Amino acid sequence: MAIFPEQIVASVDHDGHVLIPRLNAELRVPVSNTAALVHGEDGQPDIEFVRVDRFRAACRLYSGQVGVSLREAQEEIFSWMDAAGLARHGTRHHHAYMPNVLPGEITLELRVPIAREGRETPG
């Protein structure tokens, strides 16, 4: 599962070279233990291992193009949760990408964490 906490924007220096800033992303995979940091050539950690707590989530499978229809699928799962009385745990949702062979399309599972019963987490 890939989570991108911020969007990166490339720029061009005075010589016309494209400068691409460091991309920070969370790649979540099931593991039983964490490992030490992996440092890059610049001394900054390239890979950091962090344990993530388990959570219940409402899930919806989506296949299609990225754009308006993906946003509609996101809004549908949020509306369904609201109608079912399921409080969201925070404000983030996750995309778990899956293989897709159709050009220009993606397949992913939308996952929205659900707050524990009796406690609504502010988001």
- Other beta carbons within 10 Å of 58: 17
Between CA 43 and CA 13 the distance in angstroms is 24
Nearest Cα to Cα of residue 108 among 47, 43, 64, 44: 64
pLDDT tens by residue, 28-73: 666 666 667 777 778 777 777 766 667 788 999 999 888 888 889 9
**What pLDDT score does 84 carry?**
93
**pLDDT tens across 88-117, in order?**
887 677 777 777 778 888 888 888 889 876
pLDDT tens profile 12-31: 999 999 887 776 666 666 66
Residue type, 87: A
pLDDT at position 123, please?
42
Cα 86 to Cα 9, 35, 70, 92, 120, distances in angstroms: 36, 35, 21, 15, 9
Quick check: 56 and 84 in contact, CB under 8 A? Answer: no
Mean pLDDT of 73-95: 86
